[in-house]
Structure 1
Amino acid sequence: MAKVPPDDLLQTVLRSAPRERLGTTRSRMEDVARLAGVSTATVSRALRQPDRVSPAVRARVDEAVERLSYRRNLMAGALASARSMTIGVIIPSMINSFFSATVEAMEEGLEGSGYQLLIGNSRHSMEIEERLVASVMAWSPAAIVLTGRRHSRETIRMALDADIPIVEMWELSDHPIDTIVGFSQRAAGRIVVRHFAERGARKLGFIGAMLDRDYRAVDRYAGFVEAAAEAGFAPPVEYRFEKRASAIGGSEALRALMAQHPDVDAVFCTNDILALGGLFEAQRQGWSVPGRLRICGFGDLEFAAASEPALTTVRPPRGAIGTKVAEVLLSRLGGKPAGQTIFDLGFELVARGST
């Protein structure tokens, strides 16, 4: 009897199998392997690491999976290998576009690898982060990504005991848990002072939100105050509130700040949303920007370049962080040694019309 090429064999089986009977019960990996004409090991490899099998084999497996409505049993795979294909990612905010851009870049960097992200929102709370890490650990993750360098003692203990790649992001530290990818928040605050000085500012102000929880914003403020003293400025006056940043909050904050300190001529806001509200308030009050008042934000959100005047801001490497994290994880999970553990991606001050 003549041998039938594997591709032709699959098509023959698919055509002859009653379509309504395929996938009517829970399919197993063995069923996919039989239908695709390959071993179960090849099916597992095609699903977990598709780049390690040929396009022809991957196509046969994919078609068999679709016909059988096969769904991988992630927990079974985790029990067999002691590690799932899950990567836990804990971020401090689900609505902040800083972190959503980082996660999106991370997903793009991991595309085709078989790894899936399990995302948790700590809401800027180390206690919530600790609970989320404990939950993720129950899934035997392949790796965990944490935001920032400050964590509870129990979170650090769990991370160290897990014996998996741990990547911290969005900050820098000389002593990361494992690997850290980010930039200096303090330096970001310092560069704003330098820019204000170059633009002839004399009296500095600062507007911040959630400084009781967002210690990255606190670090930017600390760098701003340090650099102001070094440059010969009087201590910056400040207005802070503990609500989530909003344009309305930025407007109210600038109005209150200027009422108390009318000699302020340059204001740094901890993010662009507050700065946008400040721009609106300046227009309502008839304060010329940048003639009477210079305003700088942080984040370089999409509206910053479109506002009037266009907003000067500090641009963090949002997407680059996610791309580098994915690169580090794939290298480590591929069995390569840790090598470099601190990645400083820097930032950029984008000077526009508001200063």
Structure 2
Amino acid sequence: MRDVSKLAGVSTMTVSRVLADPSIVAPDTRERVMRAVDQLGYVPDLVAGSLSSRRTNFVGLILPTLTNSNFADTAQGLAEALGQSYQLLIGYTLYRAGEEERLVRSLLARRPQGIVVAGTLHTASTRRMLLAAGIPVVEIWDAPGAPLDRAVGFSNFEAGRAAARHLLSLGHRRIVAIGSEADGDRRDARGEARLQGFAAVLREEGVETGLILRHGPAPVSYAHGAAAMKLLLRDMPDVEGVFAVSDGSAFGALMECRRQGIDVPGRISLMGFGDFEVGRECEPAISTIRVDAKGIGMKTGQLLRDLIDGRDAGAPQSIDLGIEVVPRGTTALPCRASVSNQAMQGSEP
């Protein structure tokens, strides 16, 4: 830093201010310092800085997977809201509770300024560590009544309810939800909550409640949706409507229907969740439950900045950003004539 200050003709304190928060330094001075930094190839020693200030200026983010575009959008929104003041260190669990526990322990050993974790179901050890951490903890992608500290998301249970109500409103009665099944400590708790919300509406409406297909481990994918749809069509050829807990799975289900020559939505209505780009751009476009994935990240980042800087010392709270049903080309009123014709054709020798 002394070398940079000599080359730029400023004090080491000015160099420190430029590197810590460029906005508080005059533009011409900032430019001279950064030009010197570039010429010398200087990289600040953040470990040394954190030892003196006890601020590491990084936030830990734990996600189930890095391949889901919604989680990627959330990470982007969080990074944008945190700005240059904080850096993200991202880990992923592949939906394993034990891996989440390991990541939490590893992150806390590095003294983050805050931790963001997807979901609200944790091992007892993870809960104890997070409660004792003494830093802001934000659970995302759910809206629990009693979060550990803060939560930003929506009700996955209500998302499942909304999907069932939409399919029933179109006149469908043989409707099914497809998701993943638990595999040891590998479990998609948010997808399971959507399945439970779906089943709850069926019970309330007096519709058959056993129509939930859990197939394969999390995370769901295009291949998962195709395989689940193939099983469903084999075991329940008269199905009228299908809700997949992810647009990725719904896309796979749509492709399986095409392979079998089944008209969507003329013969079967199909819904997904998440409003993925693939669901918007395929033909027909997939009806879905939209959530503001990037908005979850943005809101979480703003909340973290307030908590870290001491501007929000309120009680634990849960912020629900809501959901939206988005009807598109894969859901429609049932075509009874088509169903009857297919049933008659299937009965012919």
Picking from 76, 79, 85, the partner of 2:51 is 79
Instruction: Name the residue aligned to 2:155.
Output: 184
Is it true that 1:354 corresponds to 2:325 in the alignment? no
Letter in 2 for 1:257: L
Of 263, 272, 296, the match for 1:288:
263
Change in 2 beyond 3 A, CA 1:163/1:57: farther
2:19: which partner in 1?
A: 47
Identity over aligned pairs, percent: 43
Name the residue aligned to 2:276: 301
Tell me the SS of whatever aligns to 2:208.
Answer: coil
Map Cα deviations across residues 268-298 of structure 1 (whole Å, 9 max, x no partner): 1111122112112222223222222111011
**What are the Cα deviations for residues 46-73 of structure 1, in whole angstroms up to 9, with x where unaligned?**
2222233333332232222212211111
Task: Please point out which of 290, 294, 309 is paired with 1:319.
Answer: 294
Query: Which runs of 5 or more structure 2 residues have no equivalent in the other structure?
Result: 332-349
**Structure-2 residue corresponding to 1:257:** 232
Structure 1's 52 and 175: CA in aligned 2 closer, same or farther, altered over 3 A? farther
Please tell me whether the aligned partners of residues 209 and 245 of structure 1 are also in contact (alpha carbons under 8 angstroms). Answer: yes
Q: Matched residues in 2 for 1:291 and 1:184: separation?
A: 31
The residue type equivalent to 1:194 in the other structure is R
Distance 1:63 1:142 in 2: 30
Aligned to 2:100: 129
Change (3 A) 1:111 1:130: same
2:201 counterpart residue number:
227
Is the alpha carbon distance of 1:201 and 1:103 closer, same or farther for their aligned partners in structure 2, counting shifts above 3 Å? same
Q: Distance in 2 between matches of 1:264 and 1:236?
A: 13
Per-residue CA deviation, residues 228-277 of structure 1 (Å, 9 max, x unaligned), is 11122111423222244232332221121122122220111111122112
Instruction: Report deviation, 1:339.
Output: 4.0
Q: How much has 1:162 moved relative to structure 2?
A: 2.2
1:216 aligns with 2:187: no
- Is the 8 Å Cα contact of residues 275 and 289 (structure 2) preserved in structure 1? yes
Alpha carbons 2:225, 2:250 under 8 Å: kept: yes
Larger mean CA deviation between 277-286 and 68-77 belongs to: 277-286
- Equivalent residue for 1:272? 247
- Answer whether contact 2:177 2:211 (CA < 8 A) is retained: yes
Is 2:82 aligned against 1:110? yes
Measured in 2, the distance between the counterparts of 1:62 and 1:339 equals 39
For 2:336, the equivalent position in structure 1 comes to none
SS in 2 for 1:111: helix
Deviation, 1:31, is 2.8
Q: CA RMSD in A?
A: 1.8
Compared CA separation, residues 162 and 224, structure 1 to 2 (3 A) = same
Number of aligned residue pairs: 326
- Alpha-carbon distance in structure 1 between the residues aligned to 2:24 and 2:206: 60
Please tell me whether residue 31 in structure 1 is matched to residue 3 in structure 2: yes
CA offsets 1:14-34 (integer angstroms, 9 cap, x no match): xxxxxxxxxxxxxxx233334
Map of 2:309 onto structure 1: 334
Query: Which residue is equivalent to 2:66?
Result: 94
CA distance in structure 1 between the aligned counterparts of 2:205 and 2:61, rounded to whole angstroms: 39
CA distance, structure 2, for counterparts of residue 221 and residue 109 of structure 1: 32
Q: 1:311 & 1:165 partners in 2: Cα distance?
A: 38
Provide the rounded CA distance (Å) in 2 between the counterparts of 1:119 and 1:210.
26
Change in CA separation of 1:329 and 1:279 when aligned onto 2, cut-off 3 Å: same
The 1:331–1:42 alpha-carbon spacing in structure 2 relative to 1, beyond 3 Å, is farther
Gaps in structure 1 of 5+ consecutive residues: 1-28
- Structure 1 CA distance, aligned partners of 2:272 and 2:215? 16
Equivalent residue of 2:214, what SS? Answer: strand
The code of the aligned residue for 1:336 comes to R
**Alpha-carbon contact 1:183-1:345 (below 8 Å) kept:** yes
- TM-score under structure 1 normalisation? 0.86
Aligned-residue offset at 1:318: 0.7
- For residues 297-321 of structure 1, the C-alpha deviation after alignment (integer angstroms, 9 at most, x for no partner) is 1111111122222110111211101
After TM superposition, the score normalised by the length of structure 2 is 0.88
Q: Which runs of 4+ in 1 moved over 6 A?
A: none
> Relative to structure 1, is the Cα distance of residues 176 and 55 closer, same or farther in structure 2, using a 3 angstrom cutoff?
farther
302-311 vs 214-223, which moves further:
302-311
For 1:156-167, list aligned pairs within 5 A.
Answer: 156-167=127-138
**TM-aligned CA deviation for residue 211 of structure 1:** 4.3
Larger RCO, structure (CA 8 Å, separation 6 or more): 2
